Amino acid sequence: MLTDHTTLSQFLIEERRRFPEATGDFSALIIDVGLACKAIARRVANGALGGVLGQAGSTNIQGEAQQKLDVIANDVFIRANEWGGQLAGMASEEMDMPWVIPARYPRGKYLLLFDPLDGSSNIDVNAPVGSIFSILRAPNPGVEPRTEDFLQPGTKQVCAGYAIYGPSTMLVITVGTGVHGFTLDPQLGEFILTHPRIKMPPTTQEFAINASNARFWEPAVKRYVDECLEGKTGPRAKDFNMRWIASLVGDTHRILIRGGVFMYPRDTRDPGKPGKLRLMYEANPIAMIAEQAGGLATTGQDRILDVKPTKLHQRIALIFGSREEVERIEAYHRDHS
């Protein structure tokens, strides 16, 4: 029975009762991921006082200059999850190769993929950042996975979620039975169920895109945004607002709560680069959450969750949000193909 003081642990136990064969490993894994997010939330909250601002002086496989908090958050995820015996392996935005579970720990039946600190450009300016995670089943439980074992389409995710480190810290997860939001009670150190069964509004008057890339957009995206900008007098016959937090988690959470559409489309700058965001630990988990909340998530042409991955850090175009808006953008892509 979900009360208004349901903790994350209680929620997971209640969910587990629906699957008699469940062993509790899955719940234990999500609790460990939740602990990692609580630990990161504390480091983020300390800001300059905790020595977490600024660059680490290293570059990741993405070619990005790592922020200190990128590296700290990555280490926190590894330490909180490598020992529990639920994982066969882990992969991260911040690590070239998957993390090998040390021999002193048992290996389990899941794979954890994560973006340990999303929105790194926001760290030093005290704007919202987050962590994003995705859980897959390991093809060979208990055995060190090959990189290709991670390359499963988003439909294979058994859990997806994010933590948002904002005015409050929240954990938003789906295990395939809807989307549920938990708010961290810092005194108790517990995530409390505050947003059960989140439903994304199917329509919106708010879009999110980095408008400085307009000259590179595909025709369908250009047409969609131009029509939003024409407002009441244009074909949409309503005015639109624009928001861009430059943190996928921040834009996602707003869209989940009040509707909207997020676009980081492929652009013509680099035909070899199908988009900026990463499929395995950004687009896939966010797409599962969007769909579980009644929204849609697409590359513009294809459903994100159906994309067959070929590389661990592959990039992809990501358009997601209120169902009617995403359907409109997909229709424009068909018109212009």
Residues 146-205 binding ligand AHG (CB under 6 A) are none
Nearest Cα residue to 175 out of 313, 38, 17: 17
Nearest Cα residue to 38 out of 136, 138, 137, 171: 171
Beta bridge partners of 170: 164, 183
Residues that bind ligand AHG (rule: CB under 6 A) add up to a total of 12
Q: For residues 132 and 171, give the distance between their C-alpha atoms in angstroms, rounded to a whole number.
A: 10
Residues 233-262 binding ligand AHG (CB under 6 A) are 246-248
Angle of helix 248-258 versus helix 284-292 axis, rounded to 10: 10
The Cβ of residue 121 has, within 10 Å, a number of other Cβ atoms equal to: 12
Asked whether 283 and 303 are in contact (CB, 8 A), the reply is no
Beta bridge partners of 117: none
Please say which residue, 23 or 210, places its beta carbon nearer to ligand AHG: 210
- Residue 134 binding result from ligand AHG, Mn ion, none, given CB thresholds of 5 to 8 Å by partner type: none
Stretch that binds Mn ion, among 57-65, 82-90, 101-109, 310-318 (CB under 5 A): 57-65
Token pair in block for residue 327:
């359907």
Closest residue by beta carbon to Mn ion: 118
Residues 262-291 binding ligand AHG (CB under 6 A) are 276
The dihedrals phi and psi of 5, each to the nearest 5 degrees, come to -125, 25
Shortest distance in whole angstroms from residue 48 CB to ligand AHG: 19
Asked whether residue 75 is marked as a ligand-binding residue, the answer is no
Asked whether residue 312 is marked as a ligand-binding residue, the answer is no
Asked whether residue 212 is marked as a ligand-binding residue, the answer is no
Please say which residue, 32 or 118, places its beta carbon nearer to ligand AHG: 118
Q: Helix, strand, or coil here: 48? A: helix
- Residue 210 binding result from ligand AHG, Mn ion, none, given CB thresholds of 5 to 8 Å by partner type: ligand AHG
92: left (phi over 0), alpha (psi -120 to 50) or beta: beta
Q: Which of 84, 119, 285, 300 binds ligand AHG (CB under 6 A)?
A: 119
Counted residue by residue, the chain has a size of 337
Token pair in block for residue 192:
């409390």
Q: Binding residues for Mn ion, per CB under 5 A?
A: 64, 93, 115, 117-118, 120
Residues marked as binding for substrate? 118-121, 210, 276
Site residues for ligand AHG per CB under 6 A = 64, 93, 115, 118-121, 210, 246-248, 276
Binding residue ranges for Mg(2+)? 93, 115, 117-118, 282
Binding positions: 93, 115, 117-121, 210, 276, 282
